[in-house]
């Protein structure tokens, strides 16, 4: 059907996106190499694209009729939104539908890190639980902790709400203070790190958040300090973190995200006081389906009604004209 808008599927995406788009769009697929491998006659017809992670920026110039890029995930640092905005391309992300899942994972990772529960399970499965043997007591506990959340947006707020049930002190650092929350505001990341012993990172990847959690911040957390990162690996100086763990400058870390995924520094794997997850904070079938639906719904809304449901703030492009 020549009338169906052509949508480019960039690399591998959640299969539900493809299912949800198949009826109304003509789908074309391309591997995510820097050069777009589509026939020129196809490339000039592409009006929409869907992607998970990085969208090759050079493709934008090769897709003259591209109107919208639906990006899977709430963080859209893999799409050059300035270039898209300059070309009049709307970019959409998948906010809110993953807040609960990511916040739940953050809490799970925090408890696993302070109580070493994954290690205890490994110990059991390893056949070590025999009469007279006990897994060593965890040196750390969640009880009485002071938690500082770096980023109190959609997900950070859900993490804070969950933490209320754990009777810990809750503070946060963002650039603008929120007047709708009861938590302690810290105008600086360092001043927060000095005041708390547990730091949870859930800020986006931006030039300002690059290696924001550095040696100084880790040292301010102190010897009982725990770092939890469910935001982006980009925000942590991994070399400084490895040094801080080696020297006992902080006590433990729980990481879902890494600087250069899927590469995890070998040194991090060596520490018994570190919990490592392969970027799974939103990775349940239900939540990934909800994210896939929102990607598809954005494209449907754009081509049926001329407006995107969840455009990113950098591409506030006027509604499409039919």
Q: Which residues are catalytic?
A: 232, 261, 279
How far apart (Å, rounded) are the C-alpha atoms in residues 12 and 31? 8
Q: Return the residues of window 270-299 that contact ligand NDP according to CB under 6 A.
A: 279, 281-282
Pairing type for strands 146-150 and 90-92 reads unpaired
Contact between 109 and 256 (Cβ < 8 Å): yes
* Segment interacting with ligand NDP, rule: CB under 6 A, options 78-86, 145-153, 219-227, 258-266: 145-153
How far apart (Å, rounded) are the C-alpha atoms in residues 187 and 211? 18
* Segment interacting with ligand NDP, rule: CB under 6 A, options 82-90, 146-154, 238-246, 258-266: 146-154
How near is the Cβ of 114 to ligand NDP at its closest, in Å? 19
* Segment interacting with ligand NDP, rule: CB under 6 A, options 31-39, 167-175, 190-198, 291-299: 167-175
Q: Does 204 bind ligand NDP (CB under 6 A)?
A: yes
Contact between 209 and 235 (Cβ < 8 Å): yes
Collapsed DSSP state (helix, strand, coil) of residue 306: coil
Q: Return the residues of window 219-278 that contact ligand NDP according to CB under 6 A.
A: 230-232, 256-257
Choose which of 8, 38, 107, 152 interacts with ligand NDP (CB under 6 A).
Answer: 152
Q: Does 209 bind ligand NDP (CB under 6 A)?
A: yes
Residue nearest to ligand NDP (CB): 153
Structural element, H or E, at residue 276? strand 274-276
Q: Does 128 bind ligand NDP (CB under 6 A)?
A: no
Residue nearer to ligand NDP on the CB measure, 4 or 211: 211
**How far are the Cα atoms of 77, 96, 286, 296, 302 from residue 290, in angstroms, in the given order?**
20, 10, 6, 10, 18
Choose which of 13, 51, 102, 291 interacts with ligand NDP (CB under 6 A).
Answer: 102
Cis peptide before 262 (omega within 30 of 0): yes
Backbone angles phi, psi at 68, to 5 degrees: -150, 140
Q: Which residues bind ligand NDP (CB under 6 A)?
A: 74-75, 95, 98, 102, 151-156, 173-176, 202-206, 208-209, 230-232, 256-257, 279, 281-282
């Amino acid at each position: 059907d020549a009338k169906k808008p052509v949508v480019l599927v960039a690399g591998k995406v959640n299969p539900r996106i493809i299912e949800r788009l198949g009826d109304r769009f003509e789908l074309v697929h391309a591997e995510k190499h820097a050069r777009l491998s589509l026939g020129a006659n196809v490339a000039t017809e592409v009006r929409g694209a869907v992607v998970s992670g990085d969208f090759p920026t050079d493709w934008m110039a090769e897709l003259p009729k591209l109107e919208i890029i639906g990006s899977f995930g709430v963080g859209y640092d893999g799409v050059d939104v300035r270039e898209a905005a300059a070309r009049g391309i709307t970019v959409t992300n998948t906010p809110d539908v993953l807040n609960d899942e990511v916040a739940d994972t953050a809490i799970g990772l925090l408890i696993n890190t302070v109580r070493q529960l994954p290690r205890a399970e490994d110990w059991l499965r390893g056949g070590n639980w025999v009469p007279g043997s006990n897994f060593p007591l965890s040196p750390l506990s969640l009880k009485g902790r002071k938690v500082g959340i770096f980023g109190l947006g959609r997900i950070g707020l859900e993490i804070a709400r969950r933490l209320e049930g754990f009777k810990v002190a809750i503070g946060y650092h963002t650039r603008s203070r929120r007047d709708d929350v009861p938590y302690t505001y810290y105008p600086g990341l360092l001043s927060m790190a000095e005041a708390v012993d547990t730091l949870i990172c859930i800020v986006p990847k931006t030039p300002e958040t690059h290696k924001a959690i550095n040696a100084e911040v880790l040292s301010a957390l102190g010897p009982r300090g725990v770092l939890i990162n469910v935001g982006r690996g980009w925000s942590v100086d991994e070399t400084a973190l490895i040094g801080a763990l080696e020297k006992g400058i902080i006590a433990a870390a729980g990481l879902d995200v890494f600087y250069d995924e899927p590469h995890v520094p070998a040194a991090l794997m060596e520490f018994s006081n570190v919990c490592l997850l392969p970027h799974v904070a939103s990775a349940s079938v239900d939540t990934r389906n909800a994210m896939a639906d929102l990607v598809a719904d954005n494209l449907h809304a754009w081509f049926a009604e001329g407006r995107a449901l969840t455009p990113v703030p950098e591409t506030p492009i006027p509604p499409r004209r039919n």
